Chain A
Amino acid sequence: AQSVTQLDSQVPVFEEAPVELRCNYSSSVSVYLFWYVQYPNQGLQLLLKYLSGSTLVESINGFEAEFNKSQTSFHLRKPSVHISDTAEYFCAVSVAPAGGSYIPTFGRGTSLIVHP
């Protein structure tokens, strides 16, 4: 079975500073990796995903994550954060789907708090 570790429960940062949210996974087979974001009082939304191909994936709002197979990591980065990036971020891992079902295992989440 796969597992996900998000090492930081909370990451405070000042606006316009860079940020990295760490995610490590454990799996004995090939994985698919996801980052979801949950803004205050909203449902989870997919931020970005890695299924195959280029190991660097980007979101439309400036976040990127790099799949590192040797380090079993999928860290999320942004070079300059905004106040509006304040949210809970969840890393998730899924193994190759059986019968078409991607059933992800989620990490505990990292609360990104952006200060003015």
Chain B
Amino acid sequence: DTGVSQDPRHKITKRGQNVTFRCDPISEHNRLYWYRQTLGQGPEFLTYFQNEAQLEKSRLLSDRFSAERPKGSFSTLEIQRTEQGDSAMYLCASSPGDEQYFGPGTRLTVT
């Protein structure tokens, strides 16, 4: 299967801890997106990369959040000093153009 993969699929952490998620996009896609989805809501855009360059960030992305895409391949999303409000599904998508291909998501629970 050559789809978008995310790791881990589930993460439980205590408030105040740091967490890091990984996304491996479809190899030929140069665009990569991170979203957050909470129950009963659609995905909310967090940030976007074209190759290794982070071109856009949502105002939702507080300074506790940081994302990287070294060498334009996989990407990581780190949340520092997690808060209970960070509990959500974090989705990654890659794209060759207008259509986005989503990964299965990482479900974060902050206790």
What is the interface of chain A, defined by CB distance below 8 A to chain B? 4, 9, 32, 34, 36, 42-46, 49, 51, 90, 92, 94, 97, 99-109
A102 touches B105 (CB 8 A): no
B33 at the interface (CB under 8 A from A): yes
A sample of 5 more A-B contacts (CB under 8 A), given A49-B98, A106-B42, is A43-B4, A43-B103, A99-B50, A99-B55, A109-B40
Q: Please give, as numbers and ranges, the residues of chain B lying within 8 Å of A4 by CB-CB distance.
A: 42
> For the complex, what is the distance from the CA of A90 to the CA of B44, rounded to whole Å?
12
Within 8 A of A (CB), among B90-111: 91, 93, 95, 97-105
- Evaluate whether A101 and B105 lie within 8 angstroms (CB atoms) in the complex, with A43-B91, A107-B42, A108-B42 already known: no
B48, chain A: closest CB distance, angstroms: 5
B8, chain A: closest CB distance, angstroms: 15
> For the complex, what is the distance from the CA of A105 to the CA of B44, rounded to whole Å?
7
Q: How many A-B residue pairs have CB under 8 A?
A: 61
B50 touches A101 (CB 8 A): yes
Interface size band for B: 20 to 34
What is the interface of chain B, defined by CB distance below 8 A to chain A? 3-4, 31, 33, 40-45, 48, 50, 55-56, 91, 93, 95, 97-105
- Evaluate whether A102 and B102 lie within 8 angstroms (CB atoms) in the complex, with A92-B42, A107-B42 already known: no
A44 touches B56 (CB 8 A): no
Q: Please give, as numbers and ranges, the residues of chain B lying within 8 Å of A109 by CB-CB distance.
A: 40-42
Query: Which chain B residue has the least Cβ–Cβ distance from A43?
Result: B102
A113, chain B: closest CB distance, angstroms: 15
B97 touches A44 (CB 8 A): no
Leading 5 A-B pairs by shortest Cβ distance: A106-B42, A43-B102, A44-B102, A102-B98, A43-B104
Query: Which chain A residue has the least Cβ–Cβ distance from B95?
Result: A102
Q: Please give, as numbers and ranges, the residues of chain A lying within 8 Å of B103 by CB-CB distance.
A: 43
Query: Which chain A residue has the least Cβ–Cβ distance from B47?
Result: A103
